[in-house]
Amino acid sequence: MSATRLFGATGLVLASLAFSTAAFAEGDVKKGKKVFKKCKACHVVDKEKNRVGPHLVGLFGRKAGTLDGFKYSKAMVEYGVEWDAETLAAFLAAPKKVVKGTKMAFAGLRKEQQITDLIAYLEEATAKE
């Protein structure tokens, strides 16, 4: 990983720390479900079936780029962070800046509240029972 890539991604992750865990607890699950409509063309939260993007069941605590049965970009495999509220916040704000070379076409969410709401929804909807 180049220094520019490392520091660029690190800067975005550090910026995402402004989103504290408490802030995510304040996310609105119902509003997050509406935000997820932007994602559902490529991702599902309720079954272990990949689409254009990987399924999100069990997302929290999973290492990026490791879901069996999905062909990730080399960049995502190398990114390899563990998905949690902070790493997702950074990625959802600017996927192509955080993981240069990702196959994800989505440009990102610009509003912090949408990110907070989406993460609250994902925490609930993707939990394995």
Tens of pLDDT, residue by residue over 77-104, are 999 999 999 999 999 999 999 999 999 9
Q: Is the per-residue pLDDT at 119 higher than 50?
A: yes
CATH architecture of the region 3-125: Orthogonal Bundle (1.10)
More confident residue, 26 or 119: 119
Q: Determine the average pLDDT of the residues in 97-126.
A: 96
In the prediction, which pLDDT does 25 show?
56
Tokens for 89?
């916040």
In the prediction, which pLDDT does 20 show?
42
Nearest to 39 by CA among 29, 28, 54: 54
In the prediction, which pLDDT does 14 show?
45
Please report, as a single letter, which amino acid is at residue 77: V
Tens of pLDDT, residue by residue over 14-59, are 444 444 444 445 899 999 999 999 999 999 999 999 999 999 999 9
